[in-house]
Amino acid sequence: MCGIVGYIGERRAQPVLLGCLRKLEYRGYDSCGIAVTADGLQVYKDAVRVEALAKSAPQFGGTVGIGHTRWATHGGPSKINAHPHLDCAGRIAVVHNGVITNFRELRRKLAAEGHIFLSETDTEVIPHLIEKYDTGDLEAAVVAALREIEGSYAIVVMKAGEARLVVARKDSPLVIGIGDRENFIASDVPAFLEHTGRVIYLEDGQTGSITRSGIRINSGGREIAPKEDKVLWSANEAQKGGYDHFMLKEIHEQPRVIRNTLAEFTQAEETASGSDLTREIGVSPILMLACGTSYHAALVGKYVLEDLVNIPATVEFASEFNHRKNIFGKPLGIAITQSGETADTLKAMKRVRSQGGRVIAVTNVVGSTASRIANQTIYTRAGPEISVAATKTFIAQLMILYWLAMSNSKADSRRIASLLLELRQLPNRVQQVLDNEGIIAGHAKFLSRYEHAFFIGRGINYPVALEGALKLKEVSYIHAEGYPAGETKHGPFALLGRETPVIAAVSRDDTYEAMMTSMKEIKARSSPVIALSEDGDGAVEELADFVIPVPHVDCIFSPVVNCVALQLLAYYAARERGCPIDFPRNLAKSVTVE
């Protein structure tokens, strides 16, 4: 969740670090800080935004430094709890992502040995442990300190007077950017993408020593040759491109994302890349694992796979699956994670594999931890998604799931041919939704006046209701719940009335008449209704207070057009309420701790 940056080179480190930290603001934070080696260690940190820190910080002149954006976990947001943290002598500085589970025990032990702690954080034990073991070789001291640490970590360590940075990771992401006589470190690629696209992804259990002209990686006490990857994104893709918010830009990118993903399918079919594992989809029951928006994509995938492949699919919250006592059989797992670093999903993947199961990862990030755990990885190719609220990556995940189902379908060949034709038309259909942006913005203005809302759907549009509610609460702070329409009578009806609008996703499938009945019952309780329905559906227009028209598609693709409409509804409701759309309070883009 927090953001790490590091720089070593020939430029002044401070402006580079602050620029990199700005690129990580989408991860969410409540404090930030930097440390630079210049006449000893110079540290400046506070419980402020990066821009405020940049304006108030003194000018440091060194060319080696580290930085951090922090979400409070151990201890509230404050200047003293912000990173970097130092040892007693103020010569060793550390930035850290993750959770040290045995920090209380370590802190008591170190305090008894004379170490003085200033903060409430778990992180502060790390520089003190390194100080304890430092006899002149910083990397050796880091390795010795980590032997005592339990939990998860990605750390960057610097020492006064040394022109190098030491890195290490376990269960938290860390990536090294390779430049020309300069190197970068970050928790996520966008931090340094404007400087370099050449990267090394640090693996679990590895440590590294980085100078301006070299990178040395150690694994299990042995030096290994680092594997260099090339980031396929461009720096321009991580910019707003004239839009007011990243979220709006990323919503509008979705026709292109669908085209790119479909092109990826074509290439995969031509090369038969990784086809052995994907062919297993029609053989054994499927276990789908995900969190948040990715979980809603998995729920849509369940309907699609069961319909087209005729095989049972189970969807589990990865965070709950990790606490299940038993796994029955050896399922084929499909793990869906936008970042490839979602801690709960990674843990669930490892558990499936430890039981002899096989896992397909669906992720947006090449080289991510999920791609290294999985037996096979399918990339969504959505490009960098900066806004905390997932939009284009969700649609790209749906495209992957449609492709997996169609590639292994037992349905009539004529139906599959018809669906493939419609699939190729989806970018145009999504553009038609975007062309109705003004209508949706008007309905969002109405919705923005309320504090509570329900979203309802049936069948394949039940996950749409869940995702629509999640988007609205994430960015507008309106309390929203998603329900299967038939379940609203089993409790939620008690909350209906003039102050509780209902957003209904209506599809022309075998749930249509039941949805119409649900809407009539809701209207009888005086709740305003905003309906998503095919353009020109007179029955819905007569019943609902407001209608968001969506183009006709095969019912199996209705989640795509409906979710794009609901993304716009959430965006414009948040805009009306003056919310910080790209950086919702308390939320992070990647949840890298359990």
Residue 103 CA to residue 374 CA, distance in Å, equals: 31
Cβ pair 208, 544 in contact under 8 A: no
CA atoms of 109 and 95, how far apart (whole Å): 22
What is the separation of C-alpha 546 from the centre of its chain, rounded to a whole number of angstroms? Answer: 32
Longest pairwise C-alpha distance within the chain = 79
Residue 73's Cβ-count burial label (10 Å; 0-12, 13-18, 19+) is middle
Catalytic, out of 23, 249, 392, 589: 589
Q: Which amino acid is at 594?
A: E
Question: Is 350 among the catalytic positions?
Answer: no
Residue identified by tokens 């130092």 is 86
Return the SS3 of 228. Answer: coil
Q: What angle do helix axes 558-576 and 392-407 make, rounded to 10 degrees?
A: 170
Of 539, 543, 565, 545, the C-alpha closest to 553 is 565
Instruction: Yes or no: say if 381 and 258 are a contact pair by the CB < 8 Å rule.
Output: no
Could you give the 3-state DSSP secondary structure of residue 509? coil
Task: Kindly give the residue spans of alpha helices, DSSP state H, lying in 78-186.
Answer: 103-112, 125-133, 138-146
Catalytic residue among 2, 20, 32, 291: 2
Contact 395, 257 (CB under 8 A): yes
Spatial distance between the Cα atoms of 99 and 469, rounded to a whole number of angstroms: 30
What is the C-alpha separation between 46 and 405, in angstroms, rounded? 50
Question: How many whole angstroms separate alpha carbon 393 and alpha carbon 177?
Answer: 24
Q: Is 555 a catalytic residue?
A: no
Q: Where are the beta strands (DSSP E) in 398-539?
A: 452-457, 479-484, 502-505, 529-534
* Catalytic positions, written as ranges: 2, 589
